[in-house]
Structure 1
Amino acid sequence: MKKISVVLGAMLLGGFVSACGEEEQQTGDGPIKVVATTSQIGDSVSQIGGDLVEVTSLMGPGVDPHSYQATQNDINALQNADIVFYNGLHLEGKMDEIFEQISASKPVLALGESLDEEHLLADSENSNVVDPHIWFDVHLWKEALENATHELAELLPAEVETLENQQEEYFADLDRLITESEDLMEKIGEEKRVLITAHDAFGYFGRMHDLEVIGLQGLSTEDEIGLNEIQQTVTLLVDRKIPSVFVESSISDRSIQAVIQGAEQSGHEVEMGGELYSDAMGEEGTEEGTYIGMYLHNVKTISEALNEDGE
């Protein structure tokens, strides 16, 4: 199966490179065509761009960007785009070569790589690996979106004022999200401020909200989970009497179930705190299908599960 995937990827990339050699598509009078990899990027850019943009997100609900491979439809969308936004920092690792190729023919921005490196988190086990889950620090996400707005303005020089006003309105919504999130997270008692999930996607969230974060699988969902990691987590749960652990919408719950069972065998009952959105958002048309709704869902779920008073 791996050999087939490699061959298919080479065919798709080859077709894309050929297409890039053709005459570039000219932007008409309508909205510019934006392609975003993740829904987090797609929704946020849509809010800032408004009627000036037509946004296509390649990765929908339940899709894991770490293992995602481009389809022919994706290649067509990228070919027809006026500008492309992706997260970068190897979140969409299997598409890196494609982004490198298309950057020769149109604007391409990796939001994570547009940020000051001093603001980024490194893997605790490998300082050369950067945590790509930047959208979980809303302050950092605003900075990344400012860079995206600048790129849109380059394509729409007559609409700079409109873009700036729409960005200001959206950032006001994000500031309200920050305030509400901080109020809810402050309710969690000091000894219960431990967030345990299937993979290590919540590092920036933990830094922003002063939570200790433990992901069984590491930064990428392609990392292996060993029995040692599961046993260490069980010991932590028992020793510190952590009440809840969490599953993720785009990740199997097998490792989390193993942790719950291990804690029970050690005499400590652990509840499933709920489902969090990590690498993917909710269904389109729902609150969780927006960046703000997804983030607030996570905050409420975590706060209610870990708040010892149950408020």
Structure 2
Amino acid sequence: MPALPFRRPLLAAMLSVLALLPAQRALAEAPVTVVATTGMIADAAREVGGDLVEVEALMGAGVDPHSYRQTRTDIVALSNADLVLWHGLYLEAQLEGFLLELGETVPVVAVAESLPENLLIGSEDYEGRFDPHVWMNPNLWSRVVLTVRDALVESHPEGEAVFDANAEAYLEELAALAQYTTAVLSSVPAESRVLVSAHDAFNYFGSAYGFEVVGIQGISTESEAGLNRIAELVDLLVERNIGAVFVETSVSDRNIRALIEGAAARGHEVVIGGELYSDAMGEPGTYEGTYIGMIDHNATIIASALGGEAPERGMSEMLN
């Protein structure tokens, strides 16, 4: 049978192709690897991406993005990612140069920079730039979620239907969050709607809910608060009869303590109204370790401390 020598190589080739199929199938079904700079972005990517993505956040609970610098481990993770999502608007000030350079070889998307400029608040710290803390307004953050969805679709077109469905479901949750925060924060008496915190992370919050926002430091935690600034704010607390100020999980409470001591020296008692999540979410695996839990916590704490009405366990209490 002279044809047999030709059949054997053909059969061997076919077996080789068949042997590769499981590996190719596994590769096709492998999740999209996404590296996000902040927990808020990582949470959005997980919600939208579902089982089709594997998300890593560079910055965990209590980490300040304004001063964060990449580690060797970060560089490896970022360089090997299918998609890199960062905030932009100069939030990750120390990472910006590296991320812009990385964008020449890896898909890199600054998700907050998709927002129209007319919705942004100018930065007093950096001329020509904007306040990056847009996640403090759930309605603005919903727009960022859509950008995350679009970036995932661009990276993995086969998952578009899943990404669209997950994004739609998540946006409904964010709409419920916005409704809750509006309700509880509107219960705070008008004269008490003054939010004093460690740094200027709450301007979008103030704009959305009608609060006067006072940060000891500027938009960036890299700025310093001098003795004159502390003295000015002590005067404000006393003259406006403000009885509560707030610490932040990602910023030292040193300046807040100085305010309280300064007011006490003037015979005016000021207490810490609670600890707020500003530039980072809570610990992974906790309710506050999600974007919704973070904002729910902040709204509930602020409303309760400033004389408003809010469920003890926040929106989660209303849903259960």
Same fold, TM exceeding 0.5? yes
Partner of 1:209: 209
Partner of 2:77: 77
CA distance in 2, matches of 1:74, 1:309: 43
**TM-score (ref. length: structure 1):** 0.88
Partner of 1:113: 113
Residue correspondence of structure 1 range 215-234 to structure 2 within 5 A: 215-234=215-234
Amino acid at match of 1:293: G
Contact residue 303 and residue 309 of structure 2 kept, 8 A = no
Larger Rg: 2
> Which deviates further from its counterpart, 243-252 or 155-164?
155-164
**C-alpha RMSD of the superposition:** 1.5
Partner of 1:104: 104
Number of residue pairs aligned between Structure 1 and Structure 2: 285
Residue correspondence of structure 1 range 240-255 to structure 2 within 5 A: 240-255=240-255
Partner of 1:148: 148
Residue correspondence of structure 1 range 34-113 to structure 2 within 5 A: 34-113=34-113
State the Cα distance separating 1:75 from its structure 2 match: 0.6
Q: 1:285-306 CA distances to partner (integer Å, 9 max, x unpaired)?
A: 1111000001111111101100
User: For the structure 1 residues 151 and 62, does the alpha-carbon distance in structure 2 shift closer, same or farther, using more than 3 Å as the test?
Assistant: same
CA distance in 1, matches of 2:304, 2:184: 9
CA distance in 2, matches of 1:278, 1:162: 31
Question: Tell me, what secondary structure is at the counterpart of 1:275?
Answer: strand
1:272 aligns with 2:251: no
Question: Tell me, what secondary structure is at the counterpart of 2:58?
Answer: strand
Give me the identity figure in percent. 46
User: For the structure 1 residues 245 and 52, does the alpha-carbon distance in structure 2 shift closer, same or farther, using more than 3 Å as the test?
Assistant: same
Q: 1:65-117 CA distances to partner (integer Å, 9 max, x unpaired)?
A: 11111001101110110011001111111111111111111211111211111
User: For the structure 1 residues 75 and 116, does the alpha-carbon distance in structure 2 shift closer, same or farther, using more than 3 Å as the test?
Assistant: same
CA distance in 2, matches of 1:38, 1:90: 13
CA distance in 2, matches of 1:33, 1:54: 5
User: For the structure 1 residues 308 and 49, does the alpha-carbon distance in structure 2 shift closer, same or farther, using more than 3 Å as the test?
Assistant: closer
> Which deviates further from its counterpart, 51-60 or 262-271?
262-271
Q: 1:267-288 CA distances to partner (integer Å, 9 max, x unpaired)?
A: 2111100100111111111111
CA distance in 2, matches of 1:45, 1:177: 18
Instruction: Structure 1 unaligned segments of length 5 or more: list them.
Output: 1-26
Partner of 1:293: 293
Amino acid at match of 1:42: A
Q: 1:205-261 CA distances to partner (integer Å, 9 max, x unpaired)?
A: 111111110111100011010111111111111111112000000111110011111
> Which deviates further from its counterpart, 257-266 or 118-127?
118-127
CA distance in 2, matches of 1:127, 1:79: 31
User: For the structure 1 residues 54 and 125, does the alpha-carbon distance in structure 2 shift closer, same or farther, using more than 3 Å as the test?
Assistant: closer
Partner of 2:21: none
**TM-score (ref. length: structure 2):** 0.86
CA distance in 2, matches of 1:154, 1:262: 54
Contact residue 36 and residue 57 of structure 2 kept, 8 A = yes
Question: Tell me, what secondary structure is at the counterpart of 1:93?
Answer: coil
CA distance in 2, matches of 1:52, 1:308: 42
